[in-house]
Amino acid sequence: MSNAEWRQEQEFIDLLHARLAELRAGAEEAVSDALSMEGRNFQARLERDVLVAERSGLLAAFDAGERGLCFGRLKFRDGRDHHIGRIGIRRDDAERTPLVIDWRADVARPFYLATGHTPMGLRRRRHITTERGQVTALHDEILDLADTVRTGHENTDADAVLLAALDSARTGRMHDIVQTIQAEQDRIIRAPHHGVLVVEGGPGTGKTVVALHRAAYLLYAQRELLARRAVLVLGPNPAFLGYIGEVLPALGETGVLLATLGELYPGVTATGTDTPEAAEAKGRATMADALARFVRDRQVLPDPAIVIDHDDGDLVLDADIASDALWRARETGLPHNLARPHFAFKVIDGLTAQLTDRIGADPYGGPNLLGTDDIAQLGKAIATSPEVHAAIDELWPALTPERLVADFLTDPVHVSDADAAAIRRTGGEWTPADVPLLDEAAELLGEDDSAARAAAEGARLERIEYAQGVLDLSYGSRTQEFEDRDDDESEVLAAHNLIDAERLADRNEEADHRSAAERAAADRTWAFGHIIVDEAQELSPMAWRLLMRRSPTRSMTLVGDPAQTAEPGGCGSWSSILAPYVEDRWEHTRLGVNYRTPAEIMAVAAEVARTADPAFEPPSSVRATGVRPWARHTADLPGAVADAVARESGTEGRIAVIAQRGHHDALAAALPDASAGRSPDLTSPVVLLDPRQAKGLEFDTVIVAEPVEFGTSDLYVALTRATQRLGVVHTGALPGALAGLGEQQVAAVAPER
């Protein structure tokens, strides 16, 4: 019976791969045919590009779905029988019968939620493990106790598949969990698509991978909306983005922008580093007011009056003219650069009135002798005067966000003396904490795109004129038929041709064929369909101002753990983050099961967390490994770490050494094969990280160096990165919370060079 079941599933997997090969071949042929087409006109080129993009997307989905093409089977009491996989595939028949159901479809939910107590109509659930198209394991769970059929693949341990996945060696890349999504995770993944959802969870609870699967689910359930507006996934650092980068493509989803905060201002690469004090100061909500006041400081009155050379005598731009213009410009409520033309017009009007009064005054006290046309000519001459424009620039200059923020950081004002000292700098690279300031400055300044819009409208009118010429040639004979008709008929014909000309012009305008994610990355004002924020508790108030501008609908999934807040400027509590934007209109859910960190390691980490919060309760670990964490005292930190790495290198998986940045040069010299730097290669057997870089990552073995130098939150994070083994190397005393670690007495092992 067992072999028959195995053969049946293998035959189905073979059929499925054959069907996938057919679909892939069809998509490849369509792309090849489209690329070979000659685009004789714009419509042909557009149709070709759309076809290539669509079929290329299908190819990406097919490639993603091949690994784990089918991983489950559901047999219902009513006779329904469905295979579950990464993507949905149908037979090539008239009914388009499903071969395998997409894991995100509603019919697949029992695979993740059904229990013996609530079977959801299931008779049995089967987990299918495959490798390179070959069935390697079957695992059956009986959910209907009246079912007496046995296949030989029943297993009383319902968590066997999950535990096998948890015990497997890390690869340096996060994998999807479509085969092992747990009930509490599934409820979050499929939560209704509206508002702000906060997912809180301690280390190892899977909050990040759940959020990524939620993105995949939303793209499936709300395809039309989110494909057009894109989804943003915001991560804490580049290493983290590299770690999670394969999850969504593996689920067949590529319409997602993965970014760090430092990448959310197009044209700026924020690779600089702030001191903790500077990052905290820049992140305060008060910075928004400080920048607004700094902008107003650039709107000044002349002191003394500005004298402007003019052919008809000097013009005097005094405080009266300037203050009236300034008041009128500010009254518009427009951003600085958009209000500037209003200021300029009022200045020009004031100077024109001054000149008119002087040269047109009636010596006998009568009305001004200049006519309307004369005054208009004077105004035109003043408006085109370079000297007048220079004076306007002095009083109300056109500003760029980069110039404004650079000037502000050079001479910080409207902030406390301590904050000014922390953020003051001249030149240097932009830092991630600068990006929200740049974004705020861009909002305060606005962009005067009137010239660009005028140019675009002029180009459009030219296209319409050209299109009208084409139509006139096409409809020449028809137009002749209407020449003798009455005026109403002629007007209708002209309107008909004009409408057609506009449509023809618009159709022949070059379209933007970039994906929504690509366009979003280049557009500071882009409004995303949904935003997912990882380590959300770390973001500053200024960072939240930036993100909320990107999400006017407030459709967001925020994941994090206040207990892991490490950034000095982090908001920490969810209410303090969200109250300014949505008040109390947000949902909160918590993941309470630790799938990553073994119980032995979690017990040690929990003692660290309790030094800051005595009432702290860690997430419950689903497994224990029987391997106790160890500590080793040494006088030679690099040598002892190298010995520990060499000893652990005989085990399967990845090793991370986590130390404060000041030790990295010495440790890197002792670990020449380790990957290090701002964006280390996480697939390397050994990786050297600082505590902040380690956030969200996981490794089979973690060695923490000199833990006494870590803050409580950083140490808690570092200790909980391990899935199997944890060691601590120290030269001085251990932090009190780690005093219970047993000292490891080992002979030195020379590391391989």
User: Which residues define the annotated binding site for ATP?
Assistant: 201-208
CA 165 from chain centre, in angstroms, equals 28
d(CA 487, CA 545): 58
Neighbours of 540 (CB within 10 A): 26
Give the phi and the psi of residue 514 in degrees, each rounded to 5: -70, 155
d(CA 339, CA 407): 21
Helix, strand, or coil (residue 306): strand
653 and 170 Cβ atoms separated by less than 8 Å: yes
CA 369 from chain centre, in angstroms, equals 65
d(CA 69, CA 66): 5
Exposed/middle/buried for residue 415 (C-beta within 10 Å: 0-12, 13-18, 19+): buried
Neighbours of 701 (CB within 10 A): 26
d(CA 666, CA 676): 12
d(CA 377, CA 697): 70
Strand partners, 504: none
Residue type, 597: T
d(CA 705, CA 728): 6
Nearest C-alpha neighbor of 295 from the set 340, 331, 328: 340
Neighbours of 15 (CB within 10 A): 13
DSSP category for residue 675: B
Tokens of 80: 């329904």
Distances (CA, A) of 380 to 216, 469, 738: 59, 36, 79
Neighbours of 217 (CB within 10 A): 21
DSSP 412-445: --SS-HHHHHHH--SS----TTHHHHHHHHHHHH
DSSP 481-512: HHTTS-HHHHHHHHHHHHHHHHHHHHHTSPP-
- Which helix (H) or strand (E) segment is 75 a member of? strand 72-76
Residue stretches of the annotated binding site? 201-208
- Mention every residue, 6+ apart, whose C-beta is less than 8 A from residue 302: 317, 318, 319, 322, 391, 394, 395
d(CA 193, CA 225): 11
Helix, strand, or coil (residue 63): helix
CA 149 from chain centre, in angstroms, equals 49
Sign of CA dihedral 545, 549, 555, 557: negative
